[in-house]
Amino acid sequence: MNGALAGKLALVTGGSRGIGAAIARDLAAAGARVVVNYRAQYEAAAAVVAHIAAAGGTAEAVAFDVADGEAVDVAVHDIAVRLGNVDILINNAGVSADGLILRTSEEAWDRVLDVNLKGVFNCTKAVTRGMMRARAGRIVNISSVVGFMGNTGQSTYAAAKAGVVGFTKAAARELASRDITVNAVAPGLIATDMLEGMQAAARDMVLALVPLRRLGTPEEVAAAVTFLAGPGGAYITGQVIHINGGLYV
């Protein structure tokens, strides 16, 4: 498939649904070969791969837990052997465990931080050596508006997503000399399965906080990610792109 990313290999973590799936599809539409990572949802990941193939793109699904550093290293090594070094890494995998601080268990805290923050570290570290040898690479981390403005009942998620921003800025400085850019995208209220499951009253209350008066779409987030991963993002690093309809300005 031709496009701005033709010949590039992209790894999208948590690519089986929602924002991750939209990113995988959009990168493929731009010409990239895409590896769709998933942990347990094989059927959903396979559906994303099938969608990309039907549109003339190239993709495959690979299972590993981003929180497991050894599993990440093994998977990235296998990808490199079979497909080549990863040119584009999208750190999208994430989980939540909402609840008030007093009711949040240490296990829930650890799992959210392990996936949402340590997972970004694990995957970035695993692909960096190949990118440094190639003296080129694009890394885009998915943060969240919650990491900037906080939210009641989401202390763990907010802490992890704020950590992603700090990691992004440090990594950008560290890798810039090898022409590797590292940026973040911070979505606001996006129409995914999680929000669709909200009660109508709660959803209306949330929408009232958004100046544009609507939810964002996964495709709108994907468009920003693909831009940062492509030629247009070559001189952008260490930045956070906010996609939130004015919820946080």
Strand partners, 140: 90, 183
Contacts of residue 98, defined as CB under 8 A and 6 or more positions apart, other chains included, come to 153, 154, 157
φ, ψ of residue 173 in degrees (nearest 5): -70, -40
User: Does the annotation mark 235 as catalytic?
Assistant: no
| Cα dihedral 161, 163, 168, 169 sign | positive
Q: Which residues of 164-194 are buried (b: 16+ CB within 10 A; e: fewer)?
A: bbebbbebbeebeeeebbbbbbbbbbbebee
Instruction: List the 33-38 sheet strands across, edge first.
Output: 58-63, 33-38, 9-12, 88-91, 137-142, 180-187, 240-243
Catalytic hit among 38, 157, 235, 248:
157
Rg for the chain (alpha carbons), in Å?
A: 17
Active site residues: 157
